[in-house]
Structure 1
Amino acid sequence: MSVKSAEDRIWTIPNALSLARLLGVPVFLWLVLGPRADGWAILLLALAGASDWLDGKLARAWNQTSRLGRLLDPLADRLYILATLFGLAAREIIPWWLALAIPLRDLLLVVIVPPILRRLGYGPALPVHFLGKAATANLLYAFPLLFLASHTGWYADPARIVGWAFAIWGTGLYWWAGVLYVVQVRQLVKGAKSP
């Protein structure tokens, strides 16, 4: 099998896991905003986080990386983050400024980066780097803890402290990763201009 055909694969286990994560986003939102079934919502969020780790691990271990997977995986992450931010803010668990700070970074990157990359002949996005993955991991740890912190019980105060720590670190790392993406694009532009 050639490298090109391997990159074009659609039906792989990692892609199926990413697709299942995508299909879970509306279910998650319904659980949070409809019946307010936080236990089920947290479980779904935890499963999404575990499948995010697993699909990357399997893709590398089984040589099933693909173009589609490189699009689906970060798309599923972003949609879970947006859905969770919206759900937490709508339920007044987090302030709206936090719910807007993270998508604002993505919006700025979508406006700035893809047109420049297309002009230079690159794909629609740069590869995800470790800092972006660390930011996403911090946020995905923060959200279930912040849901738990909104309840009463012995776990609420520890969940609030640790959840806010992850949320603040995750937001900071998310913006830092965004700055690094812009720096990468500037380096590509400089490289394209040099003879």
Structure 2
Amino acid sequence: MESTNGVSGRIVTVPNALSFLRLLGAPFFFWLILAEHDWWALLVLVISGFTDYADGKLARLLNQTSRLGQLLDPAADRLYILATIVALAIREVIPWWLVSVLLGREVFVAALGPVIRRHRLPLPPVSFIGKAATFNLIYAFPLVLLGEQGGAVGEFARPLGWAFVWWGTALYWVAGFFYAVQVRQMVHDKSARTR
């Protein structure tokens, strides 16, 4: 069933299958990091990154953009980020306060959910800043993990990884504030139309 904005209500699509496989890989990825099988964890992450790229391309190519896909894709991104930061904090590679800062942003955005539901609003589209934040964070923590390796690879990856961490964390919060502004504007516009 096709909606007016070109987004399908279909569930069984090739892009959705790829996103679902990516979600299933997250717990395995988490275990690999905890077990300190870092190179295998990085391989899983590379495969996940490829499927993330492929599901979006295939959705457009095959005209299979779906509402479920729009939910699964960012959910998988967040799950990988969550698995990475928690596992790295348990291993004492990153501090727990950084985990709290990143999870705090998720709580901040989630707190807007009841407002969106109460006013029956669609979810605001993901902003460029939000995409940039996710990109930074998805690459940051694998680089931080590589920084734990010895030799030239670790020496190169460590500062690069932490640069991505700081940029990604800052952009993540900026995107969260923009999301709140979008929701506020949508509520205002809907109220103005119903007067």
TM-score normalised by length of structure 2: 0.93
- The Cα of 1:107 is off from its aligned counterpart by 1.0
- CA distance, structure 2, for counterparts of residue 104 and residue 141 of structure 1: 20
CA 1:40 to 1:177, structure 2 compared with 1: closer, same or farther past 3 Å?
Answer: same
Counterpart of 1:10 in structure 2: which amino acid? I
1:120 counterpart = 2:119: yes
- CA distance, structure 2, for counterparts of residue 71 and residue 15 of structure 1: 10
Corresponding residue for residue 48 of structure 1: 48
Counterpart of 1:171 in structure 2: which amino acid? T
**Which of these residues, 149, 171, 176, is aligned with residue 173 of structure 1?**
171
Structure 1: gaps of 5 or more residues: none
- CA distance, structure 2, for counterparts of residue 134 and residue 50 of structure 1: 17
Corresponding residue for residue 137 of structure 2: 139
- CA distance, structure 2, for counterparts of residue 2 and residue 138 of structure 1: 34
Corresponding residue for residue 101 of structure 1: 101
Counterpart of 1:103 in structure 2: which amino acid? L
- The Cα of 1:53 is off from its aligned counterpart by 1.9
- The Cα of 1:3 is off from its aligned counterpart by 3.6
Corresponding residue for residue 17 of structure 2: 16
- The Cα of 1:43 is off from its aligned counterpart by 0.9
Structure 1 residues 123-171: Cα deviation after superposition (integer angstroms, max 9, x where no partner): 4x32212211111111111111111101211111110111011111111
- CA distance, structure 2, for counterparts of residue 192 and residue 67 of structure 1: 22
Corresponding residue for residue 26 of structure 2: 25
4+ aligned runs moved over 6 Å, structure 1? none
Aligned residues: 192
- CA distance, structure 1, for counterparts of residue 104 and residue 180 of structure 2: 15
Counterpart of 2:114 in structure 1: which amino acid? P
CA 1:6 to 1:131, structure 2 compared with 1: closer, same or farther past 3 Å?
Answer: closer
Identity between Structure 1 and Structure 2 (%): 53
CA 1:185 to 1:44, structure 2 compared with 1: closer, same or farther past 3 Å?
Answer: same
**Which of these residues, 175, 181, 184, is aligned with residue 182 of structure 2?**
184
Counterpart of 2:142 in structure 1: which amino acid? P
Counterpart of 1:149 in structure 2: which amino acid? G
- The Cα of 1:193 is off from its aligned counterpart by 2.4
Corresponding residue for residue 161 of structure 1: 159
- The Cα of 1:45 is off from its aligned counterpart by 1.2
